[in-house]
Chain A
Amino acid sequence: MELAPQMLVDAILLGGVYTLMVIGLALSFGITRVINFAHGEAIMFGAYGAFWLLTVWGIDPLLSLPLLLAGGFVAGFLVYETAVKRVLHAPHINQILLTFGLGLIFQNVALILWTGDERSANPNWAFDAFEFNMVVVPYGRLIGFLVAVMLVAALFAWLRWTELGRASRALAEHNEAAQLVGINVSLTYGIAFGISVALGVAMGVLVSFLGAINPFMGFHMLVKGFAILILGGLGNIMGAVFGAFILAFVETSVGYYVPNGIGWAEGMAFAILFAILVLRPRGLLGQEVEG
């Protein structure tokens, strides 16, 4: 059990990062009710963006983050305006296939531009770690955690205290009433989508110094993200946070305590997903799901 403190710290740090991974997806679904199957590609482009800015221009990922956030927002808004908007009232299948197709396009654009080789952006500080009571905390992971927490907190603050944030919440609650108080639904949807993509891009920046980058990395994270969202309850942002930490804990403990655990840990998300679907489809905090 001496592993426990280290495991705990690892799990918490991972949980924060996972939260950032899904929070954008939770936001766009919560407000527009469209599931963005290309969210993984936002993460992927964020990672490549940070990598490119570091290797070509020498800009530290943390410094390029604000720029990439802005870029992600604009890109997300544009994608909404040109494509997603048109399928807002279409059958689910259209929405699913549209965003899935967009994801496919982005993955292969990246493949063509950057080839399938794995990359990583490694600023100097990412390799150091500090020790604390026999627990090793790599700086990279700690910074990643802090950035994630800051961004998620900023999102919550935006939702709670700003006009647009409140309008977004209203829109999520009652679409018709939101129109009646003068909210520009289309614009608000676009903004929410833009923010959601920006958050995905931010996650990508973290991945650039926490892990490896390749054009198809987004897919795996997307599926995990879904597992988290369903665990927490689709449409519930707080649920997404809980789900993220729960998955982080499950994965980390499997990694530590199960032989060959690291490999199996990756599969935990899917096991959890199916378990939830069978036992309690609404997830932890979600609303009753009808058949």
Chain B
Amino acid sequence: MPLRDITTPAFFLGAAAALLVSVTLASPQVNDWVFRCCTLIMLATSWNLMANAGLISLGHSAFWGVGSYAAVLTANGLGLSLWLALLPAFAVGVLLGAFLAFATGRLRGIFFAISTLALSEGLRITAFMLPEVTSGAVGVFLKQELRPSQQVLYSLGVLGAIGSVALAWWLSRTRFHYACRAMRNNEAAAQMLGINPMRYRLGVLMVSGGMASLAGGINAWYGGYLDPGMAFTLHFTILSQIAPILGGIHTLVGPVIGSIGIIFLSEGTRIAFGANEGYSQLIFGVVLVIGILFMPHGIYGVYRRLRQRAARPRNHAPTHIHQAAEGTPKEMRS
């Protein structure tokens, strides 16, 4: 699928504009939305990278959580500033991704998904059971004197989002992308093409993991407080799955569109139903289910189909290629 999307330059322009807006305009509400959208974009892009290689993560909260804790604990322990504290956040995500790659080996599909769930739950319990390190259930506050201004954090969020998408875009231009796509469809066949699945899997998980944990770290600094439940919560990280589905899985722009859509939905339900968390999560669940059943290629897929229909009359060859690119319904079971 061609990723020289005309929308890509538009995205970067839009993102630059958002950065300007967020730094100059002082409205905290808007900035908060933008910030949450940006961390979600990072998470969603990270998730999408894994999905592109056929690895479905259900426990992205594992990366988010370790990143959060790393950013806060190292800062508190070593008195680090924001930028320095984010380095360990990124590093633990990369390491965790590597661990996951080695633990799951060549296993795909269900096994991988379940492992990510187990990883997330296991880490949550570990964080809970080691209060000497993590302050357990009581939670840990980021030391007040270390906290930067909100403006810095907003800008960082936007930078993080742009960086993630840029990284994903760059990867999509390289051999890495095609290798992952081949792996997604059929790892055995990919191997015959000279692709070493283990090496690419390791790469995907490390990059993706680092991205997600960085997002977690940035978010932890934004919020200033952390406990095992919050760090490893599924509630926010579930959105990292829904956003790409909603926007258009396996595309570059999908996670972005989806994230924006999710934040709108989230705020919309909050305004409509009050702070009761159940409603917004319920709507997300419905969006996910409806998306899978009726719009598996997301909003972007709908957009693209409409564009195709307008551009060409029925012509078999291109649609066939698109089907193959998207991952046909006859994809092999793992």
Q: Which residues of A contact B (CB under 8 A)?
A: 33, 35, 37, 83, 86-87, 89-94, 96-98, 100-109, 111-112, 219-220, 222-223, 226-227, 230, 234, 260, 263-264, 266-267, 269-271, 273-274, 277-278, 281, 289-291
Contact = CB atoms under 8 A, between A and B. Distances in A.
B129 A92 contact: no
B31 to A, nearest CB: 28
Contact of B110 (A35, A98, A227): A35
A281 B285 contact: no
A267 B105 contact: no
Contacts of B242: 101
B279 A264 contact: no
Given A92-B334, A112-B279, A267 B284 contact: no
The dominant DSSP class at the A interface is helix
A160 B86 CA distance: 58
B292 A230 contact: no
B331 A91 contact: yes
B99 to A, nearest CB: 9
State the majority secondary structure of interface residues on B. helix
B152 interface: no
Interface residues of B, number: 55
B309 to A, nearest CB: 23
Nearest to B289: A101
A263 B125 contact: yes
Residue of A90, A102, A270 with most partner-chain B CB within 10 A: A270
Contacts of B105: 277-278, 281, 291
Contacts of A273: 114-115, 118
Interface of B: 51, 56, 58, 102-111, 113-115, 117-119, 121-122, 125-126, 128-129, 187-188, 197, 234, 238, 241-242, 245, 249, 276-279, 281-282, 284-286, 288-289, 291-293, 296, 327, 329-331, 333-334
A278 B104 CA distance: 7
A35 B113 CA distance: 11
Q: Across chains A and B, which 8 residue pairs bring their CB atoms closest together, nearest first?
A: A291-B106, A101-B288, A104-B285, A270-B122, A105-B285, A108-B282, A111-B278, A101-B289
Contact of A93 (B51, B106, B126, B197): B51
Nearest to A220: B121
Given A91-B327, A97-B288, A277-B115, A263 B128 contact: yes
Given A112-B278, A112-B282, A270-B121, 15 more contacts: A37-B58, A83-B289, A87-B292, A89-B329, A89-B330, A92-B110, A97-B292, A98-B293, A102-B285, A105-B286, A108-B277, A226-B118, A227-B118, A270-B118, A291-B197
